[in-house]
Amino acid sequence: MRNAFHDELDGIGTTLLQMTGLVKIAMNDATSALLTVDLTTAEKVIAADNVIDDIQHELDARTINLMARQQPVASDLRTLVTSLRMSADLERMGDLAHHVAKQARMRYPNSAVPAELVPTITAMGLVADKLIDKLSSVMEHRDTVRALEIETDDDEMDKLHRDLIGILLDDGWPHGIETAIDMTLLGRYYERFADHAVSISRRVYFLVTGEYSTN
C-alpha cells in the first residue's frame, strides 16, 4: 500500500513537471506571436490554455483523492498540500501567457509593441524563459540552492518592468493612451509570471526544509 501511495506521489510530481513544460512553451510562443505579429501562433497559445487548465483540475482531483484515501503523515501531507498550491501557480502562469497571446491577437495585423519597446519585451520574454527553465530543475531535483536563486533572478524582471513603466510615463511618449495601456498590461503579465515562479520556488524550499525562505 505504501509503495502504491508513493508511486502516486511521484505521479503527481511528474504531472507538475509536465505542466511546467507546457507553461514554458506557452509563454515562449506568446512572446514570439507578440513580437512577430503571428496570429496563427497567438491562436495556438490561446487554444492550448484549456489543456493546462484541464491538467490542473485533474491533478487537484487526484491530490485530494489521495489525501482522503491515505491519510498521509506530516511530510507526505506537506507534499500534497504544496502540490495543490504549485498547480494553481502554474495554471496562473499559463493564463498570463494566454493574456499575452490575446494582446497580440487583439492588435493584429498591427503590432501591439512599438519598435522602441521591442528590446524590452524581448528581454522580458528571455527572463521568463530563464526562470521557467530553472524552476523546472528546482522542482525535479528539489534543489533548494537554485530555488533561492530564482528570487534573485526575479530582480531582473522587476528592473525591466520598472524601466518599461518609466518609458510609458515619460512626457515624450508618442504613441497615445491606448498603446500605453497595452504596454502597461503586457509588462504586468510578464512581471506576474515571474512572481509566480518565485512563489513555486519558495514552495519547493518549504517542501524540502519545512521552513519558509527568508530571502
- Condensed to tens digits (0 to 9), the pLDDT of residues 33-90 reads 999 999 999 999 999 999 999 999 999 999 999 988 887 788 888 999 999 999 999 9
Question: Position of cell 507526505?
Answer: 76
Q: Could you tell me the three cell numbers for 199?
A: 512563489
Indicate the residue type of 55: I
User: What was the pLDDT predicted at 174?
Assistant: 96
Q: Which residue has the higher pLDDT, 74 or 15?
A: 15
Q: What CATH number was assigned to the domain covering residues 2-209?
A: 1.20.58.220
Alpha helices in the chain (DSSP H): 2-36, 39-70, 74-107, 118-141, 144-169, 176-209
Instruction: Give 101-126 pLDDT, tens digit per residue.
Output: 999 999 999 999 999 999 999 999 99
pTM for the model? 0.95
Instruction: Give 146-187 pLDDT, tens digit per residue.
Output: 999 998 999 999 999 999 999 999 999 999 999 999 999 999
